[in-house]
A and B are shown apart, each in its own frame.
Chain A
């Protein structure tokens, strides 16, 4: 790579006194003095959260209200600060989601540990965990800052689903002659 020598322009006398510059600066700051305030007055005014923002990780349900997480524990594995703690469990009985077989019995994300890296969202094979627009986390004790399953679903809400993988699977099963011998 060739090096480009940039010639420095010699300073004029006025520039060397520095006074016009100081004066210009004073005028700029004075303009701001009388100009519009740009501060966001936080608790009353809230910033607009852009899509793709990486806020608090949350668990979501699909449009049919099925909890999407199947407790595969990949997010727990990938989470760099080990913020996630999952107790896997079995879906038993004949409920509408019994064919999914597995769901978290307990799902905790420790927001004191989470670094908002978004790896859990990226790794999730079921598109069940999303970093959404919640950005303000506070509490009076450490325990309060550990989001449990209920809180995570409450924060996450419902998101659209592109696949309905398990619903399709159920439909195929009821159409199949050998699925239920």
Chain B
């Protein structure tokens, strides 16, 4: 952010005696963070408007004293620096923006006392719920209580009792006792989700969060309120009481829901995924993600998951299934239906396979309605990967009419489908009966049911790879959990097929494959899987600028630009 600015735009502020140059107007909580100084806060959120109602971020503020006559700073003769006029009362840091000469102090006894006072008030009516509270372990209130709490309560009156199980919407549960009235959820609904259903009712310590009468918090971004709620007041009905967060391991991943390429964190324990949360990427999804994308982990253990390789419906060993598929490929007359859900590496290997047997390759498009926020019209996460790796030359169609025609003409005898349901892509009984199908995929469908050879593969959560999103941003995902016993990594299967088809031996591990990728694909020339930045790498898209992509405007993406 600041690197794009000229030094002239920067101003210098002083935090705890250390100077830092920041753009004018920078929030002081953020400025302090750059220096590694944490200013505790509850209501402030970097992507939401500032309301300043929790008072946790109180700091001491001062400005250089100005000579009333000259309007010049008064110098302190002792230090040779400008004299600072400290404001008598503490100020909230979240509402303080960087201005020239601004000084703040975050470590003074006054500040400490303020924080302790705020904590004591916040905890007055707060229930002793941590043992049953899903937020425990990632709760800001808990964290600050360890630093600024008293350890015991001076409050001897009866605590307020409030409703504890209010369903705000299908996916969000409210525990009013735990709410600290920070209004983050209200601001999110209004400002980001543009679904202004939340608000406070009643006064004083009886204030409670509520939905507008007759409305529900049911927009497709509602679970983000759970993420940003600093306490356990809002909980996700899906994750509620499932597992404590301190057992969960996080793996950076990419949401495969659409071509936005939302950055996510996959939370798993011992091979089981428990939830998916957004991972901050200010160029793609800020700190949000759609509710629908959070549920995609359920496909990992879905009933119709393919778990064993099979030939003609009989379970066989992986090597045998691969050999059968290889024999079909060698017999000629092969067409390949690749996938916009495959990773860049898989699409590259698919292209290698097509090249090895001179087979034509198609992709099936999946276009829906974009929501203008974090779900784009193209529901394939990686169509651009297929373009960059050269698997296809143009934007795919929803129907495989050309393939249907070639089958009808008898030119195609075998179709390799990478997880695509050919029936859904417009091939009818008549065509399917004339071909043998080699199906690589994660879940059973009509095509896998009729396939000659089925080779189970891995979901996004079980393998490493990269996607190229609508911005032509190359983003990496890592395996969070192991795949089922009988399934093999897509790369291993594809490399095996390439070799069986006579295309030579290719690396089937992600790092080995990237050496080949970098040397063969021009836009990826300097990339390796390991050195890809966490926020992704923007590729040169000029070659594809005039293709008719289906996406409309979404957060941080405008196709018109």
**B131 with A125: CB separation less than 8 A:** yes
Complex Cα–Cα for A70 and B131 (A): 7
- The interface residues of chain A lying within 8 Å CB-to-CB of B136 are 72
**A178 with B161: CB separation less than 8 A:** yes
Complex Cα–Cα for A21 and B171 (A): 85
Complex Cα–Cα for A168 and B227 (A): 31
User: 1/0 contact trace for A56-92 toward B, CB 8 Å?
Assistant: 0000000000000011111011000000000011100
- The interface residues of chain A lying within 8 Å CB-to-CB of B152 are none
Complex Cα–Cα for A175 and B158 (A): 11
**B163 with A77: CB separation less than 8 A:** no
Complex Cα–Cα for A165 and B159 (A): 13
> Is the C-beta of B162 less than 8 angstroms from some C-beta in chain A?
yes
User: 1/0 contact trace for B439-474 toward A, CB 8 Å?
Assistant: 000000000000000000000000000000000000
Complex Cα–Cα for A173 and B218 (A): 29
B149 shortest CB reach to chain A, Å? 15
Contact of A178 among B127, B131, B158, B163 (CB under 8 A): B163
A174 shortest CB reach to chain B, Å? 9
Complex Cα–Cα for A81 and B86 (A): 55
Complex Cα–Cα for A72 and B137 (A): 11
**A125 with B241: CB separation less than 8 A:** no
**A172 with B159: CB separation less than 8 A:** yes
> Is the C-beta of B244 less than 8 angstroms from some C-beta in chain A?
yes
Residue of A at shortest CB range from B127?
Answer: A169
Complex Cα–Cα for A72 and B245 (A): 11
Interface size class of A (residues with CB under 8 A): 20 to 34
> Is the C-beta of A179 less than 8 angstroms from some C-beta in chain B?
yes
**A165 with B128: CB separation less than 8 A:** yes
Complex Cα–Cα for A101 and B129 (A): 10
Complex Cα–Cα for A88 and B246 (A): 14
B-side binding surface: helix, strand, loop or mixed? Answer: loop
- The interface residues of chain A lying within 8 Å CB-to-CB of B246 are 77
Residue of A at shortest CB range from B177?
Answer: A179
- The interface residues of chain B lying within 8 Å CB-to-CB of A73 are 243-244, 247
> Is the C-beta of A17 less than 8 angstroms from some C-beta in chain B?
no
Complex Cα–Cα for A178 and B164 (A): 11
> Is the C-beta of A181 less than 8 angstroms from some C-beta in chain B?
yes
**Contacts A77-B246, A88-B243, A89-B241: A70 and B132 contacting too (C-beta < 8 A)?**
yes
Contact of B161 among A76, A90, A173 (CB under 8 A): A173
**B161 with A125: CB separation less than 8 A:** no
User: 1/0 contact trace for B129-161 toward A, CB 8 Å?
Assistant: 011100010000000000000000000001111
Complex Cα–Cα for A9 and B379 (A): 95
**B247 with A126: CB separation less than 8 A:** no
> Is the C-beta of B240 less than 8 angstroms from some C-beta in chain A?
yes
**A172 with B161: CB separation less than 8 A:** yes
List residues 140-181 of chain A with CB under 8 A from any CB of chain B.
165, 169, 172-173, 175-176, 178-181
> Is the C-beta of A114 less than 8 angstroms from some C-beta in chain B?
no
A162 shortest CB reach to chain B, Å? 14
- The interface residues of chain A lying within 8 Å CB-to-CB of B206 are 178
B209 shortest CB reach to chain A, Å? 12
11 contacting pairs across A/B (C-beta < 8 A): A72-B136, A73-B244, A77-B244, A88-B244, A101-B132, A102-B241, A175-B161, A178-B160, A178-B163, A178-B208, A179-B163
Binding site for A on B (CB under 8 A): 127-128, 130-132, 136, 158-165, 202, 206, 208, 240-244, 246-247
